[in-house]
Structure 1
Amino acid sequence: MTEPQNAADTEIAAPHKRDLIAGLEKGLQVIEAFDQERSRLTIAEVAQRTGLTRAAARRYLITLAHLGYVRHEQKLFSLTPMILRLGQSYLHSARLPRIVQPLLYRLAYSLEEAASAGVLDHDQLVCVAAVSAGRLVSTTLQPGTRVPAFCTANGRVLLAHLPQAQMEHFLERLQPEQITAHTIVNKDRLALEIARTREQGYALVDQELELGLRTMAVPIRNFRGEVVAAMNISVHAARMKLEEMVERCLPAMLKIQVELGALL
């Protein structure tokens, strides 16, 4: 039986507009305006990406530069390494990465393959823990990396365990990009892959995010059986077939899955 929410929990879940700090929200939007494609932006570009006026964008950038999170070179602004403190605060304080990392390390080195764990953030998969085990198969396998959920094994596992209405809404708003020749962009076929993942308990993705990269993922559950994350094994396509991944890697992954369920 679910315990009733108290008044404070209800207020946080559905806050009044008067309780929100608009300046903090807009400041974070300015930080999020920088990405891999556009790592250096002008004031006008930041304003366009955030919906702020040029004057407001300028003030936020100046403030972030004063705090050390942004550097200014001529007319271009870019993030500094200090911004990593924000992500490190999560990795150091959140319980999930701290518990998952040691078992992920054991899994990766027992199989001699790269392993990672991730969570959903809207329509993207965010890596929260990773171990290369000497196999540098992808630059996406590092904490903090964000990739589309629809074409990744971890992402499909997490999508498969969403409530049906949420999963259907995800597919409705999804505009899948043909990242490689193998990427599934047909929504009906994608829905079938997600359903198959739910039924068989694991996901296999063959070179849909990167050419040469094959991944297999299983859900990570807490002690109540709720799916809180997903973990995967990644291999070079030239070294291992999909059938071999299931035969060789899945038993070890399921063992770690059970151990994590007792700890989370």
Structure 2
Amino acid sequence: MEQGIPPDAPHPRDLVAGLEKGLQVIEAFDQERSRLTIAEVAVRTGLTRAAARRYLITLTHLGYMRHENKLFSLTPAVLRLGQSYLHSARLPRIAQPLLYRLAYSLGEAASCGVLDDRELVCVAAVSAGRLVSTTLQPGTRVPAYCTANGRVLLAHLPTDEVEKYLASVEPERITAHTIVHRERLALEIARTREQGYALVDQELELGLRAIAVPLRNFRGEIVAALNVSVHEGRMPLEAMVERCLPAMVKIQAELSALL
């Protein structure tokens, strides 16, 4: 092992630096920064201005970017990258029919999500005819700390990883109910680990309540989380545990046998 290279990391000569930097350019755009200049992309990616310009021109040529009045923005073609995952990954394909059964048996929305760094990414969802939240759509990303699926997945990380997460995360008060103090978040994550499910009340959106359980593969590894979301006016918190959790546990067992 060469000095400075982690044992599980690939050797630098095996990496394609151009691909890595091109993806960094795409990731520089987000909801707050949907249109950027060359200089702004350079700052956000750490590239030189000349290099940022070449990557932006290349991405524009490939159809992933558009250019207008010195401002660059992503095109819908970027969605192909996410669709490739949703169409090819086993988890969404296996989860979707069971989510459908769970959602329609309860008459509430159900979804499945995975952890990607500090965010919870929805990979499958069924609304059961109820539009509870626009975040319950495949491909949407939300903070992990204020979601039921996110808390479940954080709770089952190794202890040192949870500590690193809590030390580095900067919780935003999205609603008046959002838990933003690290000490209280640590307690909620510990509670989730102990009881086996997470219950989150209007921390991501006003009116949105959710309950989640972990999903294990056949080796017993946590690979995703399953949740049911309801509008607070339809179901009190206590009823969510009593009514939703038993049905979720059944689907949890079925999915774990298939993953």
- Secondary structure, in 3 states, of the residue corresponding to 2:193? helix
Specify the alignment match of 1:206 in structure 2: 201
The secondary structure found in structure 2 opposite 1:140 is: coil
Cα displacement string for residues 148-204 of structure 1 (whole angstroms, at most 9, x for unaligned residues): 101100000001111111111111111111111111111111111111111111100
Where structure 2 has 5 or more consecutive residues not aligned to the other structure, the ranges are: 1-5
**Secondary structure of 1:178 counterpart:** coil
* Structure 2 counterparts to residues 47-126 of structure 1, below 5 A: 47-126=42-121
- Does 2:198 match 1:165? no
Distance in 1 of aligned mates of 2:126 and 2:7? 35
Secondary structure of the residue that 1:215 maps to in structure 2? strand
For 2:51 and 2:154, how far apart are their aligned partners in 1? 37
The reply to whether residue 261 of structure 1 matches residue 235 of structure 2 is: no
Counterpart Cα distance in 2 of 1:136 and 1:46: 36
Shift of 1:13: 3.7
Further displaced range: 39-48 or 58-67:
39-48
2:175 corresponds to 1:180: yes
Output the CA distance in 1 between the equivalents of 2:249 and 2:182. 29
Shift of residue 85 of structure 1?
A: 0.8
1:218 aligned residue (188, 196, 213): 213
Q: Which residue does the alignment assign to 2:11?
A: 16
SS of residue matched to 2:178: coil
Q: Quote the offset at 1:57 in angstroms.
A: 1.0
Residue of structure 2 in register with 1:7 after alignment = none
**Runs of at least 4 residues off by over 3 Å:** none
The amino acid of 2:197's aligned partner reads: Y
Higher alpha-carbon deviation: 152-161 or 90-99: 90-99
Unaligned runs of 5+ in 1: 1-10
| Whole-angstrom CA distance in 1 between matches of 2:85 and 2:203 | 29
**Alpha-carbon distance in 2 for matches of 1:251, 1:18:** 51
SS in 2 for 1:41: coil
Q: Which amino acid aligns with 1:28?
A: L
**1:77-116 deviation line (CA, Å, top 9, x unaligned):** 1111111110111111111111111111111111111111
Cα distance per residue 1:223-244 (max 9 Å; x no partner): 1221110011111112211111
Q: Which residue of 1 aligns with 2:186?
A: 191
For 1:131 and 1:74, locate their aligned partners in 2 and report how far apart those are by CA, in whole Å.
Answer: 40
In structure 2, distance between residues paired with 1:38 and 1:172: 26
The CA distance in 2 between the partners of 1:177 and 1:220, in whole Å, is 27
Aligned partners of 2:13 and 2:143: how far apart in 1? 34
1:26-63 superposed Cα distances (whole Å, 9 cap, x missing partner): 10000001111121111121112111122111111110
Normalising by structure 2, we get a TM-score of 0.95
How many residues align? The count is 254
> Separation in 2 of the partners of 1:239 and 1:44?
49
Say yes or no: does 1:37 pair with 2:1: no
Q: Aligned AA for 1:259? A: E
Moved more, 172-181 or 60-69: 172-181
> 2:3 corresponds to which residue?
none
CA distance in 1, matches of 2:132, 2:38: 37
Q: Percent identity?
A: 82
Name the TM-score, length of structure 1 as normaliser.
0.93
